[in-house]
Structure 1
Amino acid sequence: MRRLLADAEELGATIPADVTAALAALDLVGRAGGRDPRQVLEAGILQVATVEDAEALLDDVIDATTRRTAMAEIHNTADSFVLDWLLRRLREGGLDEIIASMRPGLAGTFAAVGRYSELVPASLTAEALLEAEPDALLAYRDGRDAAAMLASLDRWTHDVLYVVAPFDPADLVGIPEFALVMAFFVPSEGDVDAAARGRMLPPSGLDPLGGWARIGELRLNSLTVARQIIAAAADSIRNSFVPFDAEVGEPIRQQVPAGQPFPTL
């Protein structure tokens, strides 16, 4: 969780104040030592929970401390409480806020990918670069710079899938992981299949963007929008996925047998 949020900050995000307070609460619980349990919980958890939840937890923990091993019980209960709150907060709007704060800083990256896709030859060779127009060379340079940011963003969205587990499990049956990731980057459900196919073309020494330059219009969707895209595209993705054969440069039609889960990468 901490790494996910720290990586988001490196990508330009602003972390909501109550999420930062929740992390501080975890630190406080970890340093609790022999403190009085009510001081620990009031100083930490009351910053991030509803009054009703916090009071109920206080009652539970105080009762437990009168029975046995006070601080171990406090640590385990408080730690679990704050982590549960954090996950709920991120799934129910917090991640949308974090992603919204990233967008201004990513506009240049996405624009660079668009220029690269438009101006740099799809069949890129050293000879083609030597003969390229100045605008194409500038687009190529900016595309190389954008590639590092996209790689970090790609890793971060994968981490979101594993750390936050943001999708309804019912929506995940038969959906490959890279399609879930692409839902964060495409305009609509009709773009997921082509985007996932394009992303299967890896970057190379000469072509730093690889499949990113073949997706089309890039954006960074909120979790709310990504969920809507996956829900709308789910049946289409399950029934027919079109991977890309990098060797021959053509799509491969693959029908998914009825009842078979789609392999994930």
Structure 2
Amino acid sequence: MVAAMAAFALEDMFLKSAAWEVPVGQILMLFGTGGTLGFLILARIRGERVFTRALLSRGIALRAALESTARLCYTLAIALTPLSSASAILQATPLVVVAGAALLLGERVAWSRWLAILAGFGGVLMILRPGPGSFEAASLFAVFGMLGFAGRDLTTRVMPRGLSNATLGFCGFVVLIPTGALFLAATGGAVWPSASSWAALAAGTLFGIVAYAALTAAMRTGEVSVVTPFRYSRLLFGVTLGVLVFGERPDTATLLGSAVILGSGLFIMLGRRKTAPVQRASGGRSA
């Protein structure tokens, strides 16, 4: 899980670097193409089928729509705002997943965790600072991206069992090609990337594939309640890369908001780990 989060942070870093020259729509097209080919090759190596009837299900269509929305918004966020703040807002994704599981999937959530969810959203507001003179509208792209990723994760939980991980990875990347093409058609400005931008795009795609594969391995081979809290290591990697590579200096409000989000998420995940054995014995479900 830690390796996956480090790879995701490096993916963000390289895509942000490419965005200095290459339009976001074009980045999504190239990133999606590279990831699609990568997962097709991975599926062939593993002997997994990618093209099945399940690809025509409504669940896959909804997941694809959420994936494309999330990727577009979050790529805009890392292109237009500091990497450290975008990474911090993204860490609220598990909070939204827990809330969504309760509201949409009927999972039980204790009142203490609802309070932690509200506190986490308060941390997001601390980073956004919705007020005159301090609010940066582009930061909302990170919020929309976070909500899209949370929706994608929720739909993943109800995907047909016959779908392989390679199929889900393929679907997640292939949808970015038309999404990027439509956004580029609307905004214009396609360019031929320089050698450094090609290298950044290639590296970002490679780390994206590695991150997804590592995340899948963590979730399939480890206890979910044990490995999930380590998702928050992405915040550390994102802030560190933002400071070292892009010279960012997160202000006090961003650091405090990040700490609130981190604390809220860990409270929910660690609390779930402690109560899971009792609830399994009683046949209940919890988030």
**TM-score, normalized by length of structure 1?**
0.23
**TM-score, normalized by length of structure 2?**
0.22
The structure, 1 or 2, with the larger RCO (C-alpha pairs under 8 Å, 6+ apart) is 2
